[in-house]
Amino acid sequence: MGLLGFLPNLWSSTPPLLLLKHTYQGHPLTWAVPAQSGQYKAPVAGLTVSSWTVVPGGPVSGPQPPDRMVRFYVAGRLKPKLLCLVDVRYFPQGNAWVPYYRMDERMYFTRRGHQWVPLTLLNGVPALVTATPLGFANAAGYYQGFSFSRTTGPITLVGWSVIRDNASPLPAP
């Protein structure tokens, strides 16, 4: 699969949950995140970019689809590390349901002695993920899309998981 794109199966009846977009060396790059629960590897291994943009995968007709959560992972020393969580909720638009997004910006901490220390450190600096919304939030605080990046350097996504939102927001140990 080339760097120029990874698009959803054109014959699939369910639109992707979201599309990840980036311009890589002057070429548009699009990765589809399917709406089906499961774990997925990044279509291009080792691709490092400065940021990703999340945009809607497409409207869904019929009853309201369930809320979902996408966990994005980056390479770790021994196993993939959680980068961020994205909540996905469908809102009515015309005769269809359109996905909107909210990034979970919680930072996870642990206690070392008498101090709270961020769990995600890169060279001693907290590796925070920042989100820049595309447009204004709706009344529930969800956006039609956003761009995200790390404060400490580029992002090398290794994959993601899609789960129903009623599951625990924390990664499994």
Confidence at residue 110, expressed as pLDDT on a 0 to 100 scale: 66
Segment 137-164 shows an average pLDDT of 92
User: Does residue 137 or residue 10 have the better pLDDT?
Assistant: 137
User: SS3 for 128?
Assistant: coil
Confidence of residue 79 (pLDDT cuts 50, 70, 90): confident
According to DSSP, residue 19 is labeled E
Whether residue 5 contacts residue 29, with contact meaning beta carbons closer than 8 Å, is answered with: yes
Annotated domain spans of the chain: 18-164
Q: Give all strands (DSSP E) within the chain, no chain letters.
A: 18-24, 27-33, 38-41, 51-56, 68-74, 81-93, 96-104, 109-112, 115-118, 121-122, 125-126, 129-133, 146-150, 157-164
Segment 48-56 shows an average pLDDT of 94
Least confident of 22-36, 38-52, 70-84, 102-116: 102-116
CA angle 131, 133, 134 (to 5 degrees): 140
pTM of the model: 0.78
